[in-house]
Amino acid sequence: MLTNKLQNVPAKIFHNNILPFRKERDFIKKFTPVFIISASLAIIFILWGAIAPQNLETVSGNAQNFLQEHFGWFYLISASVILLFTIYLAFSKYGHIKLGSDDDEPEYSTFSWIAMLFSAGMGIGVVFWGVAEPVSHYYVPPMEVRKHQRPRRARFDSLYSIGGFTRREFMH
Protein backbone atom coordinates (compact mmCIF):
# COMPACT_ATOMS: atom_id res chain seq x y z
CA MET A 1 0.00 0.00 0.00
CA LEU A 2 0.95 3.64 0.16
CA THR A 3 2.62 3.41 3.59
CA ASN A 4 4.97 0.66 2.39
CA LYS A 5 6.02 2.79 -0.57
CA LEU A 6 6.51 5.86 1.62
CA GLN A 7 9.05 4.08 3.82
CA ASN A 8 11.41 3.79 0.84
CA VAL A 9 11.13 7.45 -0.20
CA PRO A 10 14.21 9.57 0.54
CA ALA A 11 13.97 12.00 3.47
CA LYS A 12 14.68 14.98 1.18
CA ILE A 13 11.21 14.65 -0.35
CA PHE A 14 9.62 14.74 3.09
CA HIS A 15 11.74 17.74 4.03
CA ASN A 16 10.31 19.67 1.08
CA ASN A 17 6.76 18.77 2.16
CA ILE A 18 5.93 16.98 -1.06
CA LEU A 19 4.69 14.08 1.05
CA PRO A 20 4.14 15.53 4.53
CA PHE A 21 3.08 12.35 6.39
CA ARG A 22 5.07 9.13 6.42
CA LYS A 23 2.25 7.23 8.07
CA GLU A 24 -1.42 7.85 8.65
CA ARG A 25 -0.92 8.21 12.41
CA ASP A 26 1.40 11.19 11.83
CA PHE A 27 -1.66 13.15 10.76
CA ILE A 28 -2.96 13.02 14.34
CA LYS A 29 0.29 14.56 15.60
CA LYS A 30 -0.55 17.74 13.68
CA PHE A 31 -3.37 18.43 16.16
CA THR A 32 -1.10 20.16 18.66
CA PRO A 33 -2.39 22.08 21.69
CA VAL A 34 -1.77 25.35 19.83
CA PHE A 35 -3.97 24.20 16.94
CA ILE A 36 -6.72 22.93 19.24
CA ILE A 37 -6.80 26.15 21.29
CA SER A 38 -6.75 28.37 18.18
CA ALA A 39 -9.46 26.39 16.41
CA SER A 40 -11.61 26.37 19.57
CA LEU A 41 -11.32 30.14 20.00
CA ALA A 42 -12.17 30.72 16.35
CA ILE A 43 -15.24 28.49 16.60
CA ILE A 44 -16.34 30.22 19.81
CA PHE A 45 -16.12 33.67 18.16
CA ILE A 46 -17.91 32.47 15.05
CA LEU A 47 -20.74 31.03 17.13
CA TRP A 48 -20.87 34.16 19.31
CA GLY A 49 -21.16 36.31 16.18
CA ALA A 50 -23.87 34.07 14.73
CA ILE A 51 -25.91 33.85 17.94
CA ALA A 52 -25.50 37.35 19.41
CA PRO A 53 -23.99 39.71 16.84
CA GLN A 54 -24.96 42.92 18.67
CA ASN A 55 -23.38 41.68 21.89
CA LEU A 56 -20.18 40.70 20.08
CA GLU A 57 -20.08 44.10 18.37
CA THR A 58 -20.51 45.94 21.67
CA VAL A 59 -17.94 43.88 23.57
CA SER A 60 -15.32 43.92 20.80
CA GLY A 61 -15.89 47.66 20.19
CA ASN A 62 -15.40 48.42 23.89
CA ALA A 63 -12.28 46.24 24.00
CA GLN A 64 -10.84 47.93 20.91
CA ASN A 65 -11.55 51.41 22.27
CA PHE A 66 -9.93 50.52 25.61
CA LEU A 67 -6.83 49.10 23.93
CA GLN A 68 -6.49 52.07 21.57
CA GLU A 69 -6.93 54.58 24.34
CA HIS A 70 -4.62 52.97 26.90
CA PHE A 71 -2.11 51.02 24.79
CA GLY A 72 -2.00 52.82 21.43
CA TRP A 73 1.38 54.30 22.34
CA PHE A 74 2.72 50.82 23.10
CA TYR A 75 1.63 49.54 19.70
CA LEU A 76 3.38 52.40 17.87
CA ILE A 77 6.57 52.09 19.88
CA SER A 78 6.61 48.28 19.50
CA ALA A 79 6.16 48.47 15.73
CA SER A 80 8.94 51.07 15.47
CA VAL A 81 11.34 49.07 17.66
CA ILE A 82 10.69 45.87 15.71
CA LEU A 83 11.25 47.68 12.41
CA LEU A 84 14.51 49.22 13.63
CA PHE A 85 15.65 45.86 15.03
CA THR A 86 15.03 44.07 11.72
CA ILE A 87 16.91 46.80 9.83
CA TYR A 88 19.78 46.39 12.29
CA LEU A 89 19.76 42.61 11.80
CA ALA A 90 19.75 42.99 8.02
CA PHE A 91 22.84 45.21 7.96
CA SER A 92 24.78 43.63 10.84
CA LYS A 93 26.89 40.48 10.77
CA TYR A 94 23.71 38.50 11.48
CA GLY A 95 22.27 39.52 8.13
CA HIS A 96 24.65 37.12 6.40
CA ILE A 97 23.54 33.98 8.26
CA LYS A 98 22.33 31.40 5.79
CA LEU A 99 18.95 29.80 6.38
CA GLY A 100 19.44 26.20 5.32
CA SER A 101 22.51 24.09 4.68
CA ASP A 102 25.91 25.70 4.15
CA ASP A 103 26.04 24.52 0.54
CA ASP A 104 22.49 25.65 -0.36
CA GLU A 105 22.13 28.42 -2.90
CA PRO A 106 19.16 30.83 -2.90
CA GLU A 107 16.39 29.72 -5.21
CA TYR A 108 15.60 33.33 -6.17
CA SER A 109 17.72 36.44 -6.50
CA THR A 110 17.37 39.43 -4.16
CA PHE A 111 15.62 41.37 -6.92
CA SER A 112 13.12 38.51 -7.34
CA TRP A 113 12.42 38.44 -3.60
CA ILE A 114 11.82 42.19 -3.50
CA ALA A 115 9.55 41.89 -6.55
CA MET A 116 7.58 39.07 -4.92
CA LEU A 117 7.15 41.01 -1.66
CA PHE A 118 6.09 44.12 -3.57
CA SER A 119 3.64 42.09 -5.67
CA ALA A 120 2.14 40.45 -2.59
CA GLY A 121 1.69 43.83 -0.92
CA MET A 122 0.11 45.36 -4.00
CA GLY A 123 -2.02 42.27 -4.53
CA ILE A 124 -3.56 42.34 -1.08
CA GLY A 125 -4.19 46.06 -1.47
CA VAL A 126 -6.01 45.47 -4.75
CA VAL A 127 -8.01 42.57 -3.31
CA PHE A 128 -9.12 44.56 -0.26
CA TRP A 129 -9.43 48.11 -1.58
CA GLY A 130 -10.63 46.99 -5.00
CA VAL A 131 -13.99 46.32 -3.39
CA ALA A 132 -13.97 48.41 -0.21
CA GLU A 133 -13.08 51.79 -1.71
CA PRO A 134 -15.61 51.88 -4.58
CA VAL A 135 -18.39 50.67 -2.29
CA SER A 136 -17.57 53.28 0.36
CA HIS A 137 -17.44 56.02 -2.29
CA TYR A 138 -20.74 54.85 -3.70
CA TYR A 139 -22.53 55.11 -0.36
CA VAL A 140 -20.78 58.29 0.80
CA PRO A 141 -19.31 60.22 -2.17
CA PRO A 142 -16.28 62.40 -1.44
CA MET A 143 -17.14 65.94 -0.35
CA GLU A 144 -15.90 67.69 -3.51
CA VAL A 145 -18.01 65.38 -5.66
CA ARG A 146 -21.11 65.87 -3.51
CA LYS A 147 -21.03 69.67 -3.80
CA HIS A 148 -21.10 69.97 -7.57
CA GLN A 149 -23.22 67.13 -8.88
CA ARG A 150 -26.55 65.48 -8.55
CA PRO A 151 -26.45 62.60 -6.04
CA ARG A 152 -26.85 59.82 -8.60
CA ARG A 153 -24.16 61.22 -10.89
CA ALA A 154 -21.86 61.83 -7.92
CA ARG A 155 -22.18 58.21 -6.83
CA PHE A 156 -21.41 56.96 -10.34
CA ASP A 157 -18.43 59.28 -10.82
CA SER A 158 -16.96 58.47 -7.44
CA LEU A 159 -16.85 54.79 -8.38
CA TYR A 160 -14.44 55.56 -11.19
CA SER A 161 -12.44 58.36 -9.62
CA ILE A 162 -10.21 56.08 -7.58
CA GLY A 163 -8.15 54.36 -10.25
CA GLY A 164 -5.84 57.20 -11.08
CA PHE A 165 -5.49 58.74 -14.52
CA THR A 166 -5.72 55.58 -16.58
CA ARG A 167 -8.95 54.12 -15.29
CA ARG A 168 -10.75 57.38 -14.74
CA GLU A 169 -9.95 58.91 -18.11
CA PHE A 170 -10.85 55.85 -20.14
CA MET A 171 -14.10 55.09 -18.31
CA HIS A 172 -15.89 58.33 -19.24
Per-residue pLDDT, averaged over 75-88, amounts to 93
Local structure of 105: helix, strand or coil: coil
* 110: phi then psi, degrees, rounded to nearest 5: -60, -40
CB 9 within 8 A of CB 3: no
Is 125's pLDDT higher than 50? yes
Q: Tell me the mean pLDDT in the region 64-72.
A: 92
Going by C-alpha positions, the residue among 159, 161, 160 that lies closest to residue 135 is: 159
Q: Considering the entire predicted model, what is its pTM?
A: 0.46
Q: Are 121 and 113 in contact (CB under 8 A)?
A: no
Domains of the chain by residue range: 107-172
Residue 149 in this model has a pLDDT that exceeds 70:
no
pLDDT value, residue 22: 57
Of the pLDDT bands very low, low, confident and very high (cuts 50, 70, 90), residue 156 is low
